[in-house]
Amino acid sequence: MERTTAFASEMTWPDYDAAVRDGRTPILIPIGSMEQHGHHMPLHVDVLLPTEFARRVAEQTGALVAPPFTYGYKSHQKSGGGNHLPGTTSLDGATLVAALRDVIREFARHGVRRICLVNGHYENSWFIIEGIDLALRELRWDGITDMKIVVLSYWDFVDKATIGRLYPNGFPGWELEHGGVLETSLMLALHPGLVHLDRALDVAPARFPPYDVYPVRPEWTPCSGTLSSPKEASAEKGEILLEVCTTGIVAALRAEFG
């Protein structure tokens, strides 16, 4: 039957079963966080963005989008402002690893053999890899050796030419983009009603020493919670990012999954 949704959770179980049991349909799993994103954006930015990229990619590739991980690993001060900030609600690494391992094993049980983890929260990265490694090891014990998993973060598909278009006055670097032009532009394009750019603080890019201190030193994080200014964000820049990243992800999955 003709598929009417890209989201696996919106399907009946017989329709889902028919779609995935032969292993041909990839499953895309968005992985985000509940994390502060400044005075101008909501706490679930890192869930909304990878979920939308996954949806767009699924519509072009025939994949299905799984329910997202809505909590992620702890916010690091140099990439997310720090786990001490109000609103940020995080998992221990072991919790995230165990949950991801379980979900991968369950999809394998359904017949799925192609999975893509679409990450929207930088700090998840190494825990995603650990969850995958443990899941694949346990699946091999059960005789399942044909699983293939792709891990990607949407921002890695932004090339130098696009960076030049988005940041004509200079690029602060990905490590300082938390709550800045990239995420804010995407949110303006996708969810403008959730963005209050008039409340954004025009802060200078954060400056950190070449080491970390724990407990964190709150004064190192700009008062906005963002690590650079979002003032140059626009919906037009968001549309550019949507096109570039979606095209890149689709090409990557076609190369890896066929």
Q: Which residue numbers are catalytic? A: 35, 37, 46, 121, 123, 178, 183
| pLDDT at residue 169, as a whole number | 87
Report how far residue 114's alpha carbon sits from residue 205's, in angstroms, rounded to the nearest whole number: 39
Identity of the amino acid at 114: R
- Quick check: is 1 in a domain? no
| Cβ neighbours of residue 223 closer than 8 Å, sequence gap 6 or more | 201, 203
- Quick check: is 3 in a domain? no
- Quick check: is 55 in a domain? yes
| Cβ neighbours of residue 89 closer than 8 Å, sequence gap 6 or more | 34, 35, 43, 71
Domain that includes residue 200, residue range: 8-257
Counting as low any pLDDT under 70, the low residues of the chain are 1
The structural domain count of the chain equals 1
Give pTM, 2 decimals: 0.96
CATH number of the domain enclosing 63: 3.40.50.10310
| pLDDT at residue 1, as a whole number | 57
- Quick check: is 2 in a domain? no
Identify the burial level of 124 via C-beta atoms within 10 angstroms of its C-beta, where 0-12 means exposed, 13-18 middle and 19 or more buried.
buried
- Quick check: is 48 in a domain? yes
Report how far residue 134's alpha carbon sits from residue 99's, in angstroms, rounded to the nearest whole number: 11
Report how far residue 188's alpha carbon sits from residue 207's, in angstroms, rounded to the nearest whole number: 27
Report how far residue 15's alpha carbon sits from residue 24's, in angstroms, rounded to the nearest whole number: 14
- Quick check: is 200 in a domain? yes
**Sheet bearing 114-119, strands edge to edge:** 64-65, 27-31, 114-119, 148-153
- Quick check: is 99 in a domain? yes
Strands (E), the chain: 27-31, 64-65, 114-119, 148-153
- Quick check: is 94 in a domain? yes
CB 27 within 8 A of CB 114: yes
User: Collapsing DSSP states into helix, strand and coil, what is residue 118?
Assistant: strand
Sequence-distant contacts of 212-215: CB under 8 A, at least 24 apart: 212/77, 212/78, 215/84
| pLDDT at residue 2, as a whole number | 73
* Interaxial angle between packed helices 93-110 and 13-20, expressed in degrees from 0 to 180 and rounded to the nearest 10: 80
Number of Cβ within 10 Å of residue 213's Cβ equals 9
